[in-house]
């Protein structure tokens, strides 16, 4: 009987906010990540191409490490919630 999961055929819009506590948690979660509107990637390819092969290799491996680590942390959090 979760309010967000109940079918409501007459509500097609987000506003006005109906559940303010849920909206507050959503906004807090949103603040913890970068959204596409906040990050300008226009010059990234030019910057990448100016790096040496060794620098590109290093950055690729650092990003791969963090991507894998984030996945492991997320999985552990899910597993802890089940206990």
Which pLDDT belongs to residue 83?
58
**According to the model, what pLDDT value does residue 59 have?**
97
Among the listed residues 80, 1, 69, 70, the one whose alpha carbon sits nearest the alpha carbon of residue 32: 70
Average pLDDT over residues 21-49: 91
Measure Cα distances from 9 to 14, 27, 76 in Å: 13, 25, 37
How far is C-alpha 18 from the geometric centre of its chain's CA atoms?
Answer: 24
Q: What is the pLDDT of residues 69-83, one digit of tens each?
A: 988 888 888 888 775
* 11-29 per-position pLDDT tens digit: 888 888 888 999 999 999 9
């Amino acid at each position: 009987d979760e309010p967000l999961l109940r079918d409501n055929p007459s509500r097609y819009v987000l506003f006005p906010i109906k559940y303010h506590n849920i909206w507050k948690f959503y906004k807090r979660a949103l603040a913890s990540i970068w959204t596409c509107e906040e990050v300008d990637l226009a010059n990234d390819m030019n910057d990448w191409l100016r790096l040496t092969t060794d620098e590109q290799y290093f950055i690729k491996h650092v990003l791969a490490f963090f991507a894998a680590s984030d996945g492991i942390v997320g999985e552990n959090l899910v597993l802890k919630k089940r206990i």
